[in-house]
Amino acid sequence: MPTPEGAIKRKISHALSKLDCEYHFMPVQNGMGAPGLDYFICAGGWWVAIEAKAPGKKPTPRQDRTIEAIRAAHGLVFVVDDDESLFLAMETIKACCNLAKEIR
Domains of the chain, earliest start first: 4-103 (3.40.1350.10)
pLDDT at position 90 is 96
Residue-averaged pLDDT of the chain: 91
For 93, the enclosing helix (H) or strand (E) is helix 83-103
Strand order in the sheet with 76-80: 23-25, 39-43, 46-52, 76-80
Residue 27 has pLDDT above 70, yes or no: yes
Q: What is the pLDDT at residue 104?
A: 67
Average pLDDT over residues 76-88: 98
The number of CA neighbours under 13 Å toward the Cβ of 37 is 31
Of 4-8, 9-13, 23-27, 77-81, which gets the smallest average pLDDT?
23-27
Q: Give the model confidence (pLDDT) of 32-81 as tens digits.
A: 677 899 999 999 889 999 999 999 999 999 999 999 999 999 999 999 99
